[in-house]
Every structure is written in structure tokens, then in C-alpha cells.
């Protein structure tokens, strides 16, 4: 049975799980560790341990829990209170929270990977449920919190040709035929010919015998892919959106990440995890373009000392909003959406006040008689870095954040409900 969480302003606190994957930044150098510690003083950070990911959401692998409901999982709460998601989200996503919000701290490169489309994910899950555990797609948005480096999408063919031309080991590994094909496609105007040549040459690399790769690229197995994929550098606040079939690998740095609630990854190389090279090679988008073209440009709104940057990718499952409140600003009115949101304060501090003006029917559940202040981030609770809360969907929830906040706030939530054929928004909010 699901307990009711009755929050007076539709906001309640979450405790979030984290992952100690080996590629994570170690100890307090990790943004994940810093946020964990700041948000929950009882957590002690071990300086030798990697803190790779903080998970905010309902995914069964690391579910968030609600302290004010005696540690009930957010998933159970959502199941018992589906109206708290907001009507459009509830209807479109079958009563489940459609997104997973994360903080990542990357020290060592992650595997080269891509995520399947919805239709492809369904097919993979049916064929191989052990390795593809759910039938959902997994579009991702990564927004840098610190200088962030990754591989993303194929390079323009001219760049690939220049590498192959100058690096004889690369020619050896690809083979004479594919090298010649790549060279001739380099001057072709036909995009299909160009894509095919890149696909053939990249396929030859990825299928290459590990011994040969070790010989040609000692100590750097998998590193050859940088000759084919863009190396992308994100400064704080810059973002990439990883749509289906786009090859990518995170190399270093900290970021916010929002994705559809799924774990479907098709991997090749740079990983001890399950590798499915043939599936990856078949699904990839081989259209090359410059690294800068892969950056996602948010819409920016400025008003009364507050800067709002909205990242709304062309999918229904999520959007992310960053809110930057000037240090001089004494209050800010946070308006919720048609979707439940998850909020994380990344930096600064402030106070949340009740200040409810009106609730639509979608937020009736979870609104009302909450008493006490056990972890509820409203009623003058102070919020600071690392605090994570859930905002229940509603049309006007006048949550006022007031006080000493200097810095940025980022908000992530599900897509907006933008008229007919529009998208359902559900996401998270991030203060930075």
C-alpha cells in the first residue's frame, strides 16, 4: 500500500542513490560526492572510492526514496498517486515517471555507445531481454557542470580522410579496400556514398581483431575511434543532446544528465560490459558533421534578475531547465508545469515558502495537510547544494524561493504540453 505524502506546497524532498562505477571521479573531487555530502550530512565520502552517478527518479536499479514517508520509494509513491505526475504525463506514460535525472562525474572514458530508437529497443528487448532489459528508447541530454569532454557523432569525412591519409597504422587496420573507398568518397557530393564509405571503414575498425589493434595502437585499445568521431569540449552550461543512433562516449568532466527512463545501451569497445558490435554498426547514424554542430542550444529568457535556460529536445520524455538567480535577487517565483519535476540545487542556497496560489485538479493528491517539517522543502526549509526535491504537477504552484542564493538554478522537467500534438513535459530543476 502506498502512503500519502501530503506536502503543503506540492514539494517534498528525495534521498537519492548513487553508483560507484570504476570510471567515476574519486572522493571529494567528484561533483556527485560533493552534492551527496552537501545534501545529506550523514553521508561520509571515502577519498579512495569513485562516485560516478547520482540517480534521481524511479528506475528500479537505484530508486530514490522519500524521507518524509519513512523511506518509501518514489516509484511506489507515483504508483499510488498517479495524479501527482500531471494528467498529460499520466496519460501518455501509463502512470510512470518518464525520465531519469542524473549527475555524472567522469574520470575515465566510458564505452563507445549509442541508444536505440523506440521501435528498435522493442525489437532488441524481445530478442535479448537479458542484455536489453526494457523496451524503451533512451535519448539523453548532457549539460556540463565543469569542463566536459566527450566523443559525439561522426566527423565530417574530410577530417577522417586527413587522419587516414597521415596515419599508416590506421590504413593497416582498415585495410586497402576500405581506405581507397574512403579516399574516393572524400570528394563525393553524394551523401549516401559518403555515409556508406564511413560505415565501411568504421566497421572494419570495430570488427578488427584485438591483437592487431593492440599492436597498432598499444595501450589504447578503442582509442582509434577518435579518428572517426568528433571530440567535443563543453564549457559549463553547454550541452549535447544524444538522439537515437548517435555514437558517443563520455571522456571526462561533470554533467547533469536527463534521459528517458531506460537502461538500453548498445556498446562497442572501451568497456568490460556486454558488447554488441554488429548491432551497433547496423544502427549508427553515419552522417558526419563538425563537432560544434552537435551542441544543443537552449532557449534563454531573462527577467528580473533571473536567467532561465530551457533545454527542450524533440522528444516527449523530458526537458531540462536551468534557472540562474542573481545574488542580489531576494525572491523568485518557481512555477511548476503540467508535469511533475525533480529539482536539484546545484549551488547557492535559499528558502522555499509555501505560497500556494492555486492548484489544478491534477495536483489535488499530495496537496494539503502535511504537518511538521520533516524533510519537506517548503515552509521555510532552507535548501542548499545537493538537496533534491520533487515538485508535483500543477498549473500554478507559487513556490517562492527567497533568500541568499547567488548563482544559477537549473530546472529539468518532462516536455511541455504545447498545444495539440505537443509534448508532455516532465523534468528536473537544478539550482546551480
Q: List, by residue number, the catalytic residues.
A: 267
- Residue ranges with strand state E in 94-133: 99-106, 112-114
The residue assigned the cell 570488427 is 207
Q: Is the separation of the CB atoms in 19 and 62 below 8 Å?
A: yes
The residue assigned the cell 524561493 is 401
**What is the spatial distance between Cα 351 and Cα 328, in angstroms, rounded to a whole number?**
15
**What is the spatial distance between Cα 179 and Cα 161, in angstroms, rounded to a whole number?**
9
**What is the spatial distance between Cα 376 and Cα 378, in angstroms, rounded to a whole number?**
6
**What is the spatial distance between Cα 431 and Cα 230, in angstroms, rounded to a whole number?**
30
Residues 6+ apart with CB under 8 A from 396: 335, 336, 357, 358, 359, 360
Give the total residue count for the chain.
Answer: 432
Grid cell in block for residue 29? 573531487
Q: HEC string of 9-55?
A: CCEEEEECEEECCCCEEEHHHCHHHHHHHHHCCCCCCCCCCEECEEE
The residue assigned the cell 518518464 is 98
Q: Is the separation of the CB atoms in 329 and 408 below 8 Å?
A: no
Q: Is the separation of the CB atoms in 124 and 267 below 8 Å?
A: no
Amino acid at each position: 500500500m502506498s502512503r500519502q505524502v501530503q506536502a503543503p506546497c506540492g514539494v517534498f524532498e528525495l534521498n537519492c542513490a548513487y553508483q560507484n562505477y570504476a570510471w567515476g571521479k574519486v572522493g571529494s573531487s567528484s561533483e556527485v560526492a560533493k552534492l551527496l555530502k552537501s545534501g545529506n550530512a550523514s553521508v561520509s565520502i571515502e577519498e579512495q572510492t569513485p562516485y560516478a552517478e547520482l540517480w534521481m527518479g524511479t528506475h528500479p536499479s537505484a530508486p530514490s526514496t522519500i524521507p518524509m514517508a519513512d523511506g518509501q520509494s518514489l516509484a511506489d509513491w507515483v504508483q499510488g498517486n498517479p495524479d501527482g505526475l500531471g494528467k498529460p504525463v499520466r496519460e501518455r506514460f501509463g502512470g510512470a515517471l518518464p525520465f531519469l535525472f542524473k549527475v555524472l562525474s567522469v574520470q575515465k572514458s566510458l564505452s563507445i555507445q549509442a541508444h536505440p530508437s523506440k521501435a528498435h529497443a522493442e525489437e532488441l528487448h524481445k530478442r535479448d531481454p537479458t542484455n536489453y532489459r526494457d523496451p524503451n528508447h533512451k535519448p539523453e541530454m548532457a549539460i556540463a557542470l565543469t569542463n566536459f569532454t566527450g566523443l559525439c557523432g561522426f566527423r565530417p569525412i574530410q577530417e577522417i580522410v586527413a587522419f587516414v591519409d597521415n596515419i599508416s597504422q590506421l590504413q593497416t587496420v582498415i585495410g586497402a579496400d576500405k581506405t581507397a573507398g574512403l579516399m574516393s568518397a572524400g570528394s563525393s557530393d553524394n551523401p549516401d556514398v559518403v555515409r556508406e564509405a564511413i560505415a565501411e571503414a568504421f566497421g572494419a575498425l570495430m570488427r578488427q581483431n584485438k591483437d592487431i589493434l593492440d599492436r597498432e595502437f598499444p595501450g589504447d585499445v578503442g582509442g582509434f575511434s577518435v579518428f572517426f568521431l568528433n571530440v567535443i569540449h563543453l564549457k559549463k552550461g553547454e550541452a549535447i543532446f544524444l538522439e537515437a543512433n548517435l555514437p558517443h562516449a563520455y571522456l571526462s568532466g561533470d554533467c547533469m544528465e536527463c534521459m528517458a527512463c531506460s537502461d538500453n545501451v548498445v556498446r562497442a569497445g572501451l568497456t568490460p560490459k556486454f558488447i554488441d558490435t554488429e548491432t551497433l554498426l547496423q544502427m549508427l547514424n553515419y552522417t558526419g558533421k563538425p563537432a560544434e554542430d552537435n551542441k544543443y542550444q537552449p532557449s534563454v529568457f531573462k527577467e528580473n534578475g533571473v536567467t532561465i535556460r530551457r533545454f527542450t529536445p524533440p522528444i516527449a520524455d523530458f526537458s531540462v531547465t536551468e534557472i540562474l538567480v542573481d545574488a542580489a535577487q531576494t525572491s523568485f517565483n518557481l512555477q511548476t508545469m503540467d508535469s511533475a519535476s525533480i529539482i536539484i540545487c546545484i549551488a547557492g542556497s535559499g528558502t522555499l515558502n509555501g505560497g500556494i496560489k492555486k492548484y489544478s485538479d491534477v495536483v489535488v493528491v499530495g496537496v494539503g495537510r502535511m504537518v511538521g517539517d520533516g524533510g519537506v522543502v517548503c515552509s521555510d526549509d532552507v535548501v542548499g547544494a545537493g538537496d533534491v526535491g520533487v515538485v508535483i504537477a500543477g498549473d500554478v504552484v507559487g513556490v517562492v524561493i527567497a533568500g541568499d542564493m547567488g548563482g544559477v538554478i537549473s530546472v529539468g522537467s518532462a516536455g511541455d504540453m504545447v498545444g495539440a500534438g505537443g509534448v508532455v513535459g516532465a523534468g528536473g530543476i537544478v539550482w546551480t
